[in-house]
Amino acid sequence: MNHNDYLSTLNEPQREAVLHGNGPLMIIAGAGSGKTRVLTYRIARLIETGVDPFRILSLTFTNKASGEMRSRIEGAVGTEARNIWMGTFHSVFAKILRIEARYLGYTSDFSIYDTDDSKSLLRSIIKEYNLDDKVYKANVVFNRISGAKNRLISADDYINNAIIQQDDEAAKMKEIGRLYKTYATRCFQANAMDFDDLLFNTNVLFRDFPDVLYKYQHKFQHVMVDEFQDTNVSQYLITRKLSAVHRNIVVVGDDAQSIYAFRGANIENILNFEKDFPDVRVIKLEQNYRSTSTIVNAANSVIARNKSQLEKHTFTSNEEGSLIDVIKAGSDNEEGRLIATAIFEEKMQKALRNEHFAILYRTNAQSRSFEEALRKLGIKYRIVGGQSFYQRKEIKDLLAYLRFTVNQRDEEAFKRIINLPKRGIGDTTVAKIAVTASENNVAIWDVVANINQYGTGRTIAPIEGFGTLIKSFKILVEEGKDAYEISSHIAKASGILRELYEDKTVEGLSRYENVQELLNGIKEFVDSDETEDKSLSAFLQSVSLLTNADEPDDNNDHDRVTMMTIHSAKGLEFRNVFIVGLEEDLFPSQMMLESRQDLEEERRLFYVAITRAEKKLSFSYAESRYQWGRLKMCEPSRFLLEVEQKYLNVNKMVQSALERDTTPPVTTFARNLVQRKTEAKPAVTAATSHVPSADFVPTDTFDLAEGDKVEHLKFGFGVVTKMDVNGTDRKATVKFDLVGEKTLLLSFAKLRVMK
DNA sequence: CGAAAATGCGTTTTT
DNA sequence: CGCATTTTCG
């Protein structure tokens, strides 16, 4: 593509950003202001003007974002784009650490501990120290350690820091420093890094080994950081060091969209940047091309309440668009039904596809009621995040085998697989092995591999069997077999596949399929011509850093309603967006209100959610919510009042309150639930058992006939007694169980037919 | 040692 | 309530 072709499509500040030559640049890019285009064009242009792609480092927020950007650049400049160093902070620096591992005393096969591994390791350490695990909760301890690492505080720093120690003592957890120290040692002994270590150790690497720093400083001629507002100190320091020589650093961010302070992101990075690079040029992208003016203005009216923000005026010249609907529901289930119906109707009226819709919520747990309602209407959906594929037990089990095959020091992987499938090696035996190992001052694997030398009693046989098994896997690695050959062999030889295959329950079947799917994924990884290193350890590295937005795009089946948390929605856009669960204590979240005085981050989160919508936005809230088996009464969120009211359409609110006859009034609803708790399982089940097991399917063909069974959203189940067809008009008379005979002009949005 | 029973905790958000 | 971890018992 010729420069001028794309340059002519840009506005003035966008063009300036693309054409900016050398030296530091900060782009403050409002939501929907075309920042991805700017970044893409800028990189394409660098390559066209002769910069070697190998010398461009581009850090993005998700692997998906980087993949998309890479393919767009590829479209402009060709396959050269593949050579750009592009990815998340974690993946790029894991790659560098892998190359330079020996400087830090790791091998390049180091394991990456996910949060579960970390917490499980902490749990064992807490236990070993005989600390009360009700005081020292793995979760809390982990968060403390993680916070410290993100501020580049090592275990020793932590112990020697008077202020931190005071804090911990006040919280009655003065042992955290010791736990941190042991945790770090154990990770190191296991040849493992957790997520935070990937950044922490990169800092250590660059701090302690100037030669290595020198190499990368000179290598990367251009450094680009997307979503700069969400970087933490550790990340910022890395980029600052890397760009210290060439000083070609471009950061792109929007302080109004900073939503990761809880994991150490620091808006002050934006201010520090101006201090560290006094000659920085600042370009503001303020025109929104994404959303209607109603949406842009509503979003601005929300964020205007925040005190701390950079001066910026976002505007749009797009059409006004429709008002924001506010939908009130009696319960979380009704909220699900109302949204699902709204999607159905909007889809039909405007001839839209499923993929035009997104439902955004504050917490993953809210997805349930929407899933059920959408499924009932036969609307396809996908859930981003939540329990991801890679967190499933069977997947983690196989991955643990793979990890242990590559790295026998991986303590967490060992614990997972030593008795899986059951081979008669229980906790006591494992503890014995650990004791033997430390008595003889050797690694656990050494004991397992040579159990005959250390041998005790009758548990020798299974241990030896396990050792032989792993040894046979190791041989495959040494022979240089690729990741797929090795993993498919391990899946079979370990007995994991067999065990799942023999489990004939529904869950067992789906687990078996999941393992197969993982194997398919590995095959794809190996077969892809973009994969240079096809080894098992390369695969493991790539897989452990997948973001929850990186789930495999299912079989070309894109046309689905997307459901996800607002956090996951960052960087995405949808024609129609529903922001649901707008209730006080849920959004804004109670925890946020407790732990911090100000609501600013929650408000920014709301801002992010609003600005995902292109044409049409809806809010919803429920008056009651089923939580932990109890009914909780909810109040509308203060955020509903923080949006300038002239952008809201509250008609639907009244309407839905009037129509709310699918759900009993809240009082009876509550009573039913109470009854259900005390008396075994009464009447309520009668109503549910009425649901036929064969699935109802939605119809958009009106092909009703006498005798068909139908379900109407308001009136419940019924049978068609009479059909009147008059040209294109169809009238059905239906006898409903609940309300008797009704004549319907077919409003198919509310009617489903049983096949 | 492993299966069954009892306990207990959780819902912020994610790399 | 539902899942995960811990305790109990055969």
Q: Are residues A652 and A577 in the same domain?
A: yes
Does residue A755 register a pLDDT over 80? no
For A363, counting Cβ atoms within 10 Å of its Cβ (0-12 exposed, 13-18 middle, 19+ buried), the class is middle
Nucleotide at minimal C1' distance from the A630 CA: C1
Pairing between β-strand A630-633 and β-strand A624-627 as defined by DSSP bridges:
antiparallel
Q: What is the pLDDT of residue A748?
A: 38
Tell me what the mean pLDDT of segment A538-555 comes to: 75
Give the domain CATH number at A12: 3.40.50.300
Active-site pick, A119, A347, A376, A612: A612
DSSP A698: E
Does residue A595 register a pLDDT over 80? no
Q: Are residues A412 and A528 in the same domain?
A: yes
DSSP A322: P
Instruction: Name A residues 382-441 whose Cβ lies under 7 Å from strand C.
Output: 393
* Half-sphere CA count of A502, side-chain side, radius 13 A: 6
Which helix or strand (DSSP H or E) is residue A658 part of?
helix A651-658
Q: Are residues A172 and A205 in the same domain?
A: no
Does residue A389 register a pLDDT over 70? yes
Bases on strand C under 7 Å from any protein CB: 1, 4-6
Partners of A709 in the β-ladder:
A719
Nucleotide at minimal C1' distance from the A590 CA: B12
Cβ proximity of A643 and A603 under 8 Å: no
Instruction: Name A residues 570-599 whose Cβ lies under 7 Å from strand C.
Output: none
Active-site pick, A117, A168, A196, A227: A227
CB neighbour list of residue A70: distance below 8 Å, 6 or more residues apart: A81, A82, A84, A86
Residue scoring higher pLDDT (A168 or A671): A168
Residue A308 approaches strand C within 7 Å at CB: no
Residue type, A595: S
CA distance A322 to A156: 58
Q: Are residues A50 and A142 in the same domain?
A: no
DSSP A33: S
Q: Are residues A518 and A407 in the same domain?
A: yes
DSSP A711: E
Confidence of residue A660 (pLDDT cuts 50, 70, 90): very low
A678 noted as active-site residue: no
Residue A677 approaches strand C within 7 Å at CB: yes
Residue A422 approaches strand B within 7 Å at CB: yes
For A93, counting Cβ atoms within 10 Å of its Cβ (0-12 exposed, 13-18 middle, 19+ buried), the class is buried
How far is C-alpha A352 from the geometric centre of its chain's CA atoms? 27
Q: Are residues A87 and A205 in the same domain?
A: yes
Give the domain CATH number at A485: 1.10.486.10
Q: Are residues A744 and A621 in the same domain?
A: no
For A293, counting Cβ atoms within 10 Å of its Cβ (0-12 exposed, 13-18 middle, 19+ buried), the class is middle
Phi-psi region of A16 (alpha: psi -120 to 50; beta: other; left: phi over 0): alpha
Residue % of chain A over a pLDDT of 90: 46
Q: What is the pLDDT of residue A123?
A: 87
Q: Is the peptide bond before A13 cis (omega within 30 degrees of 0)?
A: no
Cβ proximity of A582 and A641 under 8 Å: no
Q: What is the number of structural domains in chain A?
A: 5
Strand boundaries in A117-227, DSSP class E = 192-194, 222-225
Q: Which two tokens stand for residue A299?
A: 């979003």
> Which residue in A639, A633, A748, A550 sits closest to A306, CA to CA?
A639
> Which residue in A66, A358, A123, A96 sits closest to A242, CA to CA?
A96
Q: Which two tokens stand for residue A452?
A: 């005959």
For A111, counting Cβ atoms within 10 Å of its Cβ (0-12 exposed, 13-18 middle, 19+ buried), the class is buried
Question: pLDDT for A100-124, tens place per residue?
Answer: 999 999 999 999 998 888 988 888 8
Q: What is the pLDDT of residue A683?
A: 27
Q: Which two tokens stand for residue A5?
A: 């072709």
Q: What is the pLDDT of residue A629?
A: 67
Partners of A720 in the β-ladder:
A734
Question: pLDDT for A267-286, tens place per residue?
Answer: 888 888 988 999 999 999 99
Cβ proximity of A43 and A57 under 8 Å: no
| Tokens 């190791």 found at | A474
> Which residue in A192, A199, A244, A193 sits closest to A88, CA to CA?
A199
In chain A, what is the straight-line distance between the N-terminal and C-terminal CA atoms, in Å? 53
Residue scoring higher pLDDT (A456 or A79): A79
Residue A365 approaches strand B within 7 Å at CB: yes
Question: pLDDT for A88-104, tens place per residue?
Answer: 999 999 999 999 999 99
Tell me what the mean pLDDT of segment A499-516 comes to: 81
CA distance A193 to A673: 47
Q: What is the pLDDT of residue A180?
A: 93
Q: Among A53-67, A237-251, A501-515, A690-704, name the one with the lowest average pLDDT.
A: A690-704
Give the domain CATH number at A150: 1.10.10
Predicted structure pTM score:
0.83
A227 noted as active-site residue: yes
CA distance A296 to A318: 9
Q: Are residues A414 and A496 in the same domain?
A: yes
Residue scoring higher pLDDT (A98 or A310): A98
Torsion angle of the four alpha carbons A581, A582, A583, A589, in this order, in degrees rounded to the nearest 10: 90
Give the domain CATH number at A699: 2.30.30
- Final residue of a structural domain among A166, A190, A214: A190
> Which residue in A622, A640, A685 sits closest to A370, CA to CA?
A622
Partners of A453 in the β-ladder:
none
Calculate the angstrom distance between C1' of B15 and CA of A521: 21
Calculate the angstrom distance between C1' of B13 and CA of A637: 18
> Residue A701: inside a domain, yes or no?
yes
Residue type, A629: G
Does residue A388 register a pLDDT over 80? no
Q: Is the peptide bond before A278 cis (omega within 30 degrees of 0)?
A: no
Helix axes A460-478, A483-493, angle to 10 degrees: 160
Residue A678 approaches strand B within 7 Å at CB: no
CA distance A132 to A134: 5
Q: Are residues A94 and A218 in the same domain?
A: yes
> Residue A299: inside a domain, yes or no?
no
> Residue A697: inside a domain, yes or no?
yes
Cβ proximity of A612 and A563 under 8 Å: no
> Across chain A, which distance is largest between two alpha carbons, in Å?
90
> Residue A122: inside a domain, yes or no?
yes
Question: pLDDT for A497-507, tens place per residue?
Answer: 888 888 777 77
Cβ proximity of A62 and A309 under 8 Å: no
Tell me what the mean pLDDT of segment A562-583 comes to: 93
Q: A511-523 burial, b for 16+ CB within 10 Å, e for fewer?
A: bbebbeebbebbb
CB neighbour list of residue A596: distance below 8 Å, 6 or more residues apart: none
Mapping DSSP to helix (H, G, I), strand (E, B) and coil, where does residue A35 land?
helix
Nucleotide at minimal C1' distance from the A388 CA: B14
Q: Is the four-CA dihedral A547, A551, A556, A560 of positive or negative sign?
A: negative
Q: Are residues A65 and A180 in the same domain?
A: no
Does residue A441 register a pLDDT over 50? yes
Q: What is the pLDDT of residue A655?
A: 55
Question: pLDDT for A667-692, tens place per residue?
Answer: 222 322 322 233 333 222 222 222 22
Confidence of residue A453 (pLDDT cuts 50, 70, 90): confident
Residue A376: Cβ within 10 Å count: 19
> Residue A311: inside a domain, yes or no?
no
Q: What is the pLDDT of residue A514?
A: 86
CB neighbour list of residue A626: distance below 8 Å, 6 or more residues apart: A331, A332, A333, A632, A673
Residue A629 approaches strand C within 7 Å at CB: yes
Mean pLDDT, all residues of chain A: 83
Q: Among A33-37, A193-197, A247-251, A504-508, name the one with the lowest average pLDDT.
A: A504-508
> Residue A678: inside a domain, yes or no?
no
Residue A226 approaches strand B within 7 Å at CB: no
A181 noted as active-site residue: no
> Residue A294: inside a domain, yes or no?
no
Annotated binding-site members of A for ATP: 29-36
Cβ proximity of A295 and A268 under 8 Å: no
- Final residue of a structural domain among A234, A265, A285: A285
Question: pLDDT for A689-716, tens place per residue?
Answer: 222 223 333 333 345 677 777 665 455 5
Q: What is the pLDDT of residue A344?
A: 93
Calculate the angstrom distance between C1' of B7 and CA of A410: 31
Please give the residue range of the domain that contains residue A142.
111-190
Nucleotide at minimal C1' distance from the A564 CA: B13
Residue A285: Cβ within 10 Å count: 27
Q: What is the pLDDT of residue A566?
A: 93
Q: What is the pLDDT of residue A321?
A: 93
C1' of nucleotide C2: residue with nearest CA: A628
Q: Are residues A93 and A212 in the same domain?
A: yes
Q: What is the pLDDT of residue A749?
A: 35
- Final residue of a structural domain among A645, A660, A675: A660
Q: What is the pLDDT of residue A673?
A: 30
Q: Are residues A132 and A259 in the same domain?
A: no
A612 noted as active-site residue: yes
Active-site pick, A15, A36, A52, A675: A36
Query: What is the phi/psi pair of residue A742, to 5°?
Result: -135, 145
Q: What is the pLDDT of residue A691?
A: 29
CA distance A424 to A275: 62
Q: What is the pLDDT of residue A552?
A: 59
Residue A676 approaches strand C within 7 Å at CB: yes
Q: Among A249-258, A503-512, A661-670, name the one with the lowest average pLDDT.
A: A661-670
Calculate the angstrom distance between C1' of B7 and CA of A130: 20
Residue A195 approaches strand B within 7 Å at CB: yes
CA distance A610 to A360: 10
Q: Among A297-311, A341-355, A550-564, name the one with the lowest average pLDDT.
A: A550-564
> Residue A477: inside a domain, yes or no?
yes
